[in-house]
Amino acid sequence: MGVRTSRRGPRAALLLTAALTASALLSGCGDDDPVSERADRAASTTSGDGVTASQESASPSSDAPAFEGGDEPVTADPSGDAALTVTAIRVGAHDDHDRVVFELGGTGTPGWDVRYVDQAASQGSGDAVEVAGGEVLQVTVSGVRYPFETGLTEFSGGPVAGAGTGGVTEVVWDATFEGTSVAFVGTRERAPFRVELLTGPTRLVVDVAR
């Protein structure tokens, strides 16, 4: 009596192999999906002025930290090797503050004296300087030198308008005199401010609360 061989054995094995292969492919997706990884890696970027840009909405959050600053004078000393020139002034608007940036070239780090004054007056002459706004924030940068000493071109433009800003009206450049450079920041009111030094390039940053 002959032996009967079933033909369903190899076919069943092939079906089982295909099922296992499909299961392995499905398990390979999940958390390692390249699309998910790209979404998670959507990092924020920081501009040269320390402003963070994100893919998220720019609308202020209710739990965002309050602006840290005050309306009293803020001062700092320059480094011993400071020999700088203010080469550019920029004004920008942010969620809860306006930012004024003084870019400097040369060596060392600057000092500063930032305070509200009753009247904007030019260095040396004492002549009144016209500044738009309800208040005047005087920014005195120390550790600077004349352009012929640093070999850099000093900022010499007219008032820098605060386009889209809520607190800063304009920035008026005065002059460099005996180791200090002065500019006047017009503000709509006596708002809190803060001062920060950034590097690469060297920038003195004044933030005014909106």
Q: Does 44 reside within a domain?
A: no
Q: Could you tell me if residue 7 is inside a domain?
A: no
Range of the domain at 142: 71-209
Other C-beta atoms within 10 Å of 185: how many? 29
Specify the CATH number for the domain of residue 183.
Answer: 2.60.40.3500
Number of domain units in the chain: 1
Domain presence at residue 61: no
Does 170 map to a domain?
yes
Query: What's residue 124's pLDDT?
Result: 82
Do residues 103 and 201 touch, judged by C-beta distance below 8 A?
A: yes
Q: 206, 54, 42, 79: which is closest to 140 by C-alpha?
A: 206
Backbone φ, ψ for residue 69 (5° rounding): 180, -175
Residue 32 lies in a domain: no
In tens digits, what is the pLDDT along the chain, a chain of 210 residues? 444 333 444 444 444 444 444 444 434 443 333 333 333 333 323 334 433 222 222 333 445 578 999 999 999 999 999 999 999 999 999 989 999 999 999 999 999 999 999 999 999 899 999 999 999 999 999 999 999 999 999 999 989 998 899 999 999 999 999 999 999 999 999 999 999 999 999 999 999 998
Does some domain include residue 181?
yes
Asked if residue 207 lies in contact with residue 167, where contact means CB atoms within 8 angstroms, the answer is no
Going by C-alpha positions, the residue among 71, 70, 64, 69 that lies closest to residue 95 is 64
The answer to pTM > 0.75 is no
17, part of any domain: no
Is residue 200 situated within a structural domain? yes
